[in-house]
Amino acid sequence: MITLQRYTFLLLLLALLASCQTDYASLPTYNAKKQLQAVIEVPAGSAIKHHYNQQTKTFEAEQQAGQDRIISFLPYPANFGFIPSTETNAQKKPLEVVVLAGGVATGTVMEVIPVGVLQLETAGELDHKIIAVPARPSERSINAADYNSFTADYPAAKAILQQWFVHHNPTSKSKFVGWRNEQFAEQEIQRWMKL
């Protein structure tokens, strides 16, 4: 009888643990070490657009005509995701982030350092993409920790990101507006943080 109770308890515990899902959108913007966090939705090198569904708390492939949306351009040049606990509009869209590193799995939470902001105009509205590098130097694919070093040492990376985000989705008709530094990135993050 005791063995049956133990098995029942273990099954209930496993069922409870399996039902617990991380709410990535509600993670803190900054962790306990005061480092900015990024949630990765699309790994670098992927051509399938994923997004985080806040209602189901799952990562889903974006749909287009009932099928997974495939980027019919070059695959993502960097990891793409969002800054948790931020909202930029009435649709509660989180602030987007591009993390310059080797591809990491969808759902990875990374500590990052902003190095700039790519400003676009999409559908008549400003669209800011925070450009960041991993906080851990061993995870970086480029050795830049601020806008000046990013600009001086990696102008081709800036050009690639600029061109990719302008051209990857022809229906959005995005236009390049400009680049801003890491201080502007921090201001944008503070501006859109949920209090």
Walk along the chain (195 residues) and give the pLDDT tens digit of each residue. Answer: 555 566 555 555 444 444 557 899 999 999 999 999 999 999 999 999 999 999 999 999 988 888 888 888 899 999 999 999 999 876 789 999 999 999 999 999 999 999 999 999 988 889 999 999 999 999 999 999 999 999 999 999 999 999 999 999 888 889 999 999 999 999 999 999 986
What pLDDT is stored for residue 14 in this prediction? 46
Distance CA 74, CA 56 (A): 29
Cβ contact 94:83 at 8 Å: yes
What pLDDT is stored for residue 8 in this prediction? 57
Cβ contact 78:109 at 8 Å: no
Question: What structural domains does the chain harbor?
Answer: 22-192 (3.90.80.10)
What pLDDT is stored for residue 95 in this prediction? 97
Question: Which DSSP category does 69 fall into?
Answer: -
Q: In angstroms, what CA-CA distances link 42 with 17, 98, 106, 143?
A: 26, 10, 6, 22
What pLDDT is stored for residue 154 in this prediction? 98
Q: In angstroms, what CA-CA distances link 112 with 5, 55, 59, 69, 97?
A: 46, 26, 21, 27, 10
Distance CA 79, CA 39 (A): 10
What pLDDT is stored for residue 5 in this prediction? 60
Tokens of 28: 């803190």
Cβ contact 37:24 at 8 Å: no
DSSP alpha helices (H): ranges in the chain?
Answer: 2-19, 147-153, 155-167, 182-192
Tokens of 190: 């503070």
